[in-house]
Amino acid sequence: MTVHLPRKITRRAFLSTSSKVVLGVSGVLLGDTALFYYGAVHGKKQDEPATREIPSSFVKVGAIEQLHAMTGYEKIFYTATIEDAWVKTPKQGFVYVTKDERGALVILSPACTHLGCSVEPATEAQRSRKKELFFWCPCHGAEFDIVGTSVGMVLPELERYKPLLIEGNVYVDISTPEKRA
Ligand code: FES
């Protein structure tokens, strides 16, 4: 009678099989992530994940294609509701959308970091006197560049909101300005 002994598993065979399993699982996970990103960027309709419920504090800034084509700035008005436990607080206002020198979207609160008045885009005459000037504050004259950095008084930068890409549109969470160093 022939007795078949179990095949001996060498250390090399074990490592080879384990690494294939790990690579396979990683591939599946990366594939899902890429699909979601593709769907979000290109507004893909087929095979995209189920639409998530958009929180009431999220404000739609615009379609990604239009914002990429934008020059200068956009002023986007919004109405949102901030929910804190069981308290719902309606909020209305606007944000400025600009781009940095690399073309990345910058979404700014208009609240002046001096005493909170709303900043306004500088006029051509103002900008001709100071090249980097883009926003100014009519209350006490604070000046900011296109990404919200103070270029006059010593002041913190304008608050920013992180752009969030959802199904081809850019949103910001108006309840949570971005933390900057
Ligand atoms: S509130 Fe803007 S400069 Fe004072």
Q: Where are the domains of the chain?
A: 10-48, 58-173
Host H or E run for residue 129: helix 124-129
Distance 75 CA to ligand 1 centre (A): 19
Helix (H, G, I), strand (E, B) or coil at 91: strand
Q: Ligand 1 centroid to 116 CA: how many Å?
A: 6
Q: Which CATH superfamily is domain 58-173 in?
A: Rieske [2Fe-2S] iron-sulphur domain (2.102.10.10)
At residue 32, does pLDDT exceed 90? no
d(CA 112, CA 143): 9
Which atom from ligand 1 is nearest to the alpha carbon of 141? 3
Q: Beta 160-161 vs 164-166: how paired, if at all?
A: unpaired
What confidence tens digit (pLDDT) does each residue in 56-92 have?
A: 999 999 999 999 999 999 999 999 999 988 999 999 9
The alpha carbon of 110 and the centre of ligand 1 are apart by a number of angstroms equal to: 11
pLDDT in tens, 44-64: 444 444 556 899 999 999 999
**CA separation for the pair 76, 101 (Å, rounded):** 21
Tell me which of 135, 139, 150, 155 to substitute to probe ligand 1's pocket, judged by most ligand atoms within 8 Å of the beta carbon: 139
Determine what percent of the chain is predicted with pLDDT higher than 90: 66
